[in-house]
Structure 1
Amino acid sequence: MVEPTLTDRPTASPVVSLADYAERARAVLPPEVWDYVAGGSAEEVTLAANRSALDRVAVLPRMLRGVDRVDLGTRLLGRPYAMPVGVAPMAYQRLVHPGGELALAAAAGAAGVPFLASTLGSTPIEQVTGVGAEVWFQLYWLRERALVRDLLARVVAAGCRALVVTVDVPVLGRRPRDLRNAFRLPADVVAANLPGGRDSLAHSGAPGVSAIGAHTDTSFAPALRWTDLAWLREHVDLPLVVKGVLDPRDAVEAVRIGADAVVVSNHGGRQLDGAPASVTMLPEVVDAVGDRCQVLMDSGIRGGTDVLRALALGAVGVLVGRPLLWALALGGERGARDALDLLAAELRDALTLAGCPDPRAAGELRTRTAG
């Protein structure tokens, strides 16, 4: 059953921007869950930089372009989508709402955008694709290649439209909030796509220890190499996306092994603290790969204006994460649908004000960086 959002409750002020969801979600989530989702690594310098760097990007709007209607439609990896936005891969979504991945994927399907299902999803991939959304699967490379093969076979059989390999997690970034909270998963939230997910280390807490970090360290392969991705390219007949690229040289290497797209990303400020904000590296990556693959961006996107900024800097689309989890926490599928509708309205307004009839035209805009 679809639960009501705060906008349905007469005593609540209306949600008028994606930013409104955050503090409302904080009020209803357990503090340790809020910290797990909201937090970053180390001193959270990169986490803060993602937002401040986006705020410094000014877009020069064009005037008298005769734009009275905006078409948000775009093509990502050769497939049509309703707007240049995807739902970022996020682990353990049932932490914030019982509907978890099923609810957020259904909302993405209704909005006509891709849902990126995480290896660490709390719902099996076969159930996620069953809701009818366009699903891309995000892969963390496991220590045993046999397990990677088995998981990939499931992904293909489930009907996923693309494979997104996250390359910036050789080990999980040290996240002080989780260490202070001795964060662990509740018994009813599991790594549903991994063997033994129900009795994993992620449920075993200890003071000063992140159970999720311990589980990740035993599950993921820290020594992933480009040759592994080349093997993947040869054995999986799906569009391949490399996520977690900041250095343009890595983007070029991704193109060399046959990637169809790269995602410029610092993992939402949750991996190497002190890494640059994703948006600051976006133009260099775009210049480095040219038209040889598509470039997307994530980390810090909080509304339609941010999507416009990314498009103006050369991205073909963005991935949105935390704001959609906050909306999910508040209202399940209905809350996530409302948030995606609101994002579409914000983007339509931003494109109109910038004189752009569609997302492609935004790539012709000029930008300035303040500070």
Structure 2
Amino acid sequence: MALSSWATSSVEEVASTGPGIRFFQLYVYKDRNVVEQLVRRAERAGFKAIALTVDTPRLGRREADIKNRFTLPPHLTLKNFEGLNLGKMDKSNDSGLASYVAGQIDRSLSWKDVKWLQTITTMPILVKGVMTAEDTRLAIQSGAAGIIVSNHGARQLDYVQATISCLEEVVKAAQGRVPVFLDGGVRRGTDVFKAMALGASGIFIGRPVVFSLAAEGELGVRKVLQMLREEFELTMALSGCRSLSEITRNHIVTENDGPRTVSRFSVHF
């Protein structure tokens, strides 16, 4: 799982729930001392990587937040910032979150900051928010250990491309030097299969977990994860794939592909 800097549970609280592979999704604050404290806490808590968020120099125009004047309810805070006077969002005429981001986030974030992060942690740095070949090459040149193809759930820039349509371009640019993950738009196990076929090393899901948590709590989350797994395994079986390594680009057709004959899959017993 990836835990956001802005989560309402701290890195220590999440780590106390038991073993697991956890990434820390980092938003870079203007005060780099705050960033350094966060990163070191995540590392001490056993997190395995930093997911550096690079698509939020400003918050997108989230009209629902503006309409609702969104802010955290009184009983919740940004737990990772308690004690730093950064844990609460002030009420605003528009969006409390937008005002918070405008006041705290460093708009000057650049590729040199990937190198800076490497000086304060041994955790690998994954760059989250890359959608082009050019940025992929720059990220790798800057020392990124992985790429997360993400459009921030399409909440940052209206009309942005779907991540699945950008994935293959990024994978080709990476040339196997670093793993490439897909984030966004995954609703079924068939979506996972398509992403794997286009070269993704792994897939992140967000809304299905949040929706199932809201509907049925922990049981709902378990159920949705099991549904995705079962759908994915069924898709593999019906495509003749006995292992992940047998999922290839030949299993799908995209709008950029020319005419082709229908493949006939082998059935293995």
Same fold (TM over 0.5): yes
Mapped partners of 1:279, 1:216: distance in 2: 28
Q: Confirm or deny that 1:200 pairs with 2:89.
A: yes
Mapped partners of 2:225, 2:116: distance in 1: 36
Query: What are the equivalent positions in structure 2 for 1:164-179 lying under 5 Å apart?
Result: 164-179=51-66
Identify the residue that residue 29 of structure 2 maps to in structure 1: 142
1:304 is displaced (CA, Å) by 0.3
In structure 2, which of residues 11, 16, 25 is the aligned counterpart of residue 125 of structure 1?
11
Identify the residue that residue 238 of structure 2 maps to in structure 1: 353
Corresponding letter in the other structure for 1:330: A
In structure 2, which of residues 224, 229, 239 is the aligned counterpart of residue 339 of structure 1?
224
Q: SS of 1:243's equivalent? A: strand
Corresponding letter in the other structure for 1:222: R
Q: SS of 1:308's equivalent? A: helix
1:151 is displaced (CA, Å) by 0.7
Deviation string for 1:213-232 (max 9, x for gaps)? 11111121111010011111
Higher RCO by CA contacts (8 Å cutoff, separation 6 or greater): 1
1:370 is displaced (CA, Å) by 4.5
Mapped partners of 2:165, 2:255: distance in 1: 12
1:343 is displaced (CA, Å) by 1.0
Mapped partners of 1:159, 1:237: distance in 2: 12
1:316 is displaced (CA, Å) by 1.1
Q: Residue 190 of structure 1 contacts residue 197 of structure 1 at CA under 8 Å; is this kept in 2? A: no
Identify the residue that residue 317 of structure 1 maps to in structure 2: 202
In structure 2, which of residues 158, 168, 173 is the aligned counterpart of residue 283 of structure 1?
168
Q: SS of 1:237's equivalent? A: coil
Q: Residue 242 of structure 1 contacts residue 262 of structure 1 at CA under 8 Å; is this kept in 2? A: yes
Deviation string for 1:253-311 (max 9, x for gaps)? 11112212101111110112232111111111111111100001111111100001101
Distance 1:228 1:370, change over 3 A: closer
Deviation string for 1:69-116 (max 9, x for gaps)? xxxxxxxxxxxxxxxxxxxxxxxxxxxxxxxxxxxxxxxxxxxxxx11
Identify the residue that residue 327 of structure 1 maps to in structure 2: 212
Mapped partners of 1:366, 1:335: distance in 2: 31
Mapped partners of 1:154, 1:319: distance in 2: 23
Q: Confirm or deny that 1:210 pairs with 2:95.
A: yes
Identify the residue that residue 74 of structure 2 maps to in structure 1: 187
Distance 1:329 1:367, change over 3 A: same
Mapped partners of 2:138, 2:232: distance in 1: 32
Mapped partners of 2:108, 2:160: distance in 1: 20
Corresponding letter in the other structure for 2:14: V
Q: SS of 1:369's equivalent? A: coil
1:363 is displaced (CA, Å) by 3.0
Distance 1:289 1:330, change over 3 A: same
Q: Any runs of at least 4 consecutive aligned residues in structure 1 with deviations exceeding 6 A, and if so which?
A: none
Mapped partners of 2:209, 2:239: distance in 1: 25
Mapped partners of 2:122, 2:33: distance in 1: 18
Q: Residue 282 of structure 1 contacts residue 297 of structure 1 at CA under 8 Å; is this kept in 2? A: yes
Corresponding letter in the other structure for 1:317: G
In structure 2, which of residues 113, 118, 124 is the aligned counterpart of residue 228 of structure 1?
113
Q: What residue ranges of structure 1 are gaps of 5+ in the alignment?
A: 1-114
TM-score under structure 2 length normalisation? 0.90
Q: Residue 118 of structure 1 contacts residue 139 of structure 1 at CA under 8 Å; is this kept in 2? A: yes
Mapped partners of 1:125, 1:320: distance in 2: 20
Corresponding letter in the other structure for 1:220: I
1:140 is displaced (CA, Å) by 0.5
Corresponding letter in the other structure for 1:236: T
1:364 is displaced (CA, Å) by 4.4
1:170 is displaced (CA, Å) by 0.4
In structure 2, which of residues 113, 138, 155 is the aligned counterpart of residue 270 of structure 1?
155
Question: How many percent of aligned residue pairs carry the same amino acid?
Answer: 36
Q: Residue 233 of structure 1 contacts residue 257 of structure 1 at CA under 8 Å; is this kept in 2? A: no
Mapped partners of 1:180, 1:236: distance in 2: 40
Corresponding letter in the other structure for 2:50: L
Corresponding letter in the other structure for 2:152: H
1:365 is displaced (CA, Å) by 3.0
Mapped partners of 1:183, 1:323: distance in 2: 22
Mapped partners of 1:186, 1:357: distance in 2: 48
Distance 1:260 1:235, change over 3 A: same
Identify the residue that residue 22 of structure 1 maps to in structure 2: none
